[in-house]
Structure 1
Amino acid sequence: MAKEIERKFLVRSDGWRNFVSNTRSLRQAYISSMEDRSVRVRLENGHIATLTVKIGRTMTRDEFEYAIPVADAEELIGTAIGLVIRKTRHNVPFKGFVWEVDVFEGAHEGLVIAEVEMGDESDNPELPDWVGDEVTGQYRYSNQALALQFEQEYNGL
């Protein structure tokens, strides 16, 4: 069984921008959603498509991801529940870990969230000075919540 172990933080400054190693454009949509699980389709740079099932709401979740044809992804995105999330993801290496900094567009423009994936829950990555409050496990900062509750202002989340 695949596991995703990650911590999530709000980003408080642009200090990460000079250290970006890779950038990609993402569109993702939820085609099924329950409180503690979801089925998501994602298009990366318009030509890499995946279908992902996630179960759980804590730092460690079950995650199953499968490559699918781009045409299938486009069709599934057309059936999305809620908002299609659009964001640019930047990989930022920092002291042995790669941080993923998501800069949201559209309805969530201005929101910037950083995630760090770990190999074990006991990993303790050093926090860069550009990260702010930790929001790990806070549903309102999940992509799922942002897609399904897009009418909320994230400043009031």
Structure 2
Amino acid sequence: MMWQIILTSSVVSAIISGIFSLIKDTRALKQQAKILQIEHNDRIFNQNQIQWLDNIRNCVSSIVVSCSKYNELIGLNDLQQTSRSESEIVSEIGDLTEISDNLRQQTTLLRTYLFHNEFYENQIMEVLGSIIFTFSKEKGKKISPKDINDLVEYTRQLIFSKMEEMR
């Protein structure tokens, strides 16, 4: 009889212990699943941040190339005011049209990427405004090399600061 009580109590305690262990394991698994989901979301966010920064880098690169080509054409016009053939003028007009279209497209795209109100983004927008003003309102004037360099430098600083935030 005593053995039956001891065996029964042992079985009951094993069942209770198993139930508590199962509950504890279930909670641990749920917690682990939450942690994995958070890590997954962080990874996706970081990948999206890197893609966003890459898009900004590509836009700025294209803008810098367009500005350089524009300045080169303006410089050629200054040197060759009188000695240009009609085909050269038509070619330059085509080049200017291509540069203009690319510059408008890339500056618009860049402005859509820069939507935070942060220092480097604001600096990029300010320099971009100066470049657009020179290009569209001051026809025949070269885009300031300082503006071009500032655009590159502020973009580098923005990318660096965002990469630091992701660490």
TM range (shorter): under 0.3
Based on CA coordinates, which of the two structures has the bigger radius of gyration?
2
Q: Which of the pair is proportionally richer in helix?
A: 2
- Name the TM-score, length of structure 1 as normaliser: 0.25
Larger RCO, structures 1/2 (Cα 8 Å, 6+ apart) = 1
Q: Which of the pair is proportionally richer in strand?
A: 1
